[in-house]
Structures are given as C-alpha cells and as structure tokens.
C-alpha cells in the first residue's frame, strides 16, 4: 500500500524476504518514540489475516539497544496511539485489496 501519511514507516510487502530466523519479514513497521509495531500478513482459507507485535526499545546496562514486550504506565497512551495507527493501516490495506479484486 502506498500512502502519503508520514506516520507510517515504509516497508513495502514486495521486500518480504526471509529473516535470519527463517520467518518472513513484516509487511509494515511503525514507530512512535521508543514503541514499535510490526505487522504481518497471512493468508488462509481465501482470507487475509494480520498479526501485530508491539515492543518497547530500551538501552541495557551495557549501552546496547534491546526490545521488551512489556509496557509501563507512561507507555500506555503512546501504545494506544500506535495501535490506532496499526488498525488504520490494516483497514486501509483491506479496502485497497478489495477494490483491486473488484476492478
């Protein structure tokens, strides 16, 4: 999906190459501050399904960046905003795919 909205990070589905752990890369990565969302697309039974992984980036005691999947009180509003952006992306993608199928 092409979008002019700058809040969506670019990671087109055409570049979904296998990752180092053998899985496929997400179709979209979104970020707000230190929070990230990775969106995967899966097809089964002639339907498209989406799954999302939310994570929080932090710097450990060795000054290396790490990701965590737990969130504190101060992360929750930003997490809700990020979830809203992911929801919008998935809905827009579904609308676009249906329009392409119908002509």
Once rounded to an integer, what is the mean pLDDT over residues 1-10?
40
Percent of the residues in the chain that have a pLDDT greater than 90, as a whole number: 65
CB atoms within 10 A of CB 83: 15
Confidence of residue 19 (pLDDT cuts 50, 70, 90): low
CA distances 63 to 54, 60, 68, 94, Å, are 22, 5, 15, 40
Query: What strands, in cross-sheet order, belong to the sheet with 28-32?
Result: 28-32, 35-44, 47-59, 65-68
Contact 92, 3 (CB under 8 A): yes
Report which of 49, 28, 31, 54 is spatially closest to residue 39, judged by C-alpha positions: 28
């Amino acid at each position: 999906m092409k979008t002019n909205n700058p809040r969506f990070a670019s990671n087109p589905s055409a570049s979904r190459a296998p990752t180092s752990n053998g899985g496929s890369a997400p179709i979209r990565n979104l970020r707000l501050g230190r929070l990230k969302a990775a969106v995967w697309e899966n097809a089964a039974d002639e339907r498209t399904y989406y799954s999302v992984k939310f994570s929080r980036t932090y710097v450990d005691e060795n000054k290396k960046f790490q990701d965590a999947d737990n969130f504190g009180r101060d992360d929750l509003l930003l997490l809700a905003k990020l979830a809203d952006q992911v929801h919008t992306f998935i809905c827009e993608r579904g609308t676009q795919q249906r329009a392409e199928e119908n002509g």
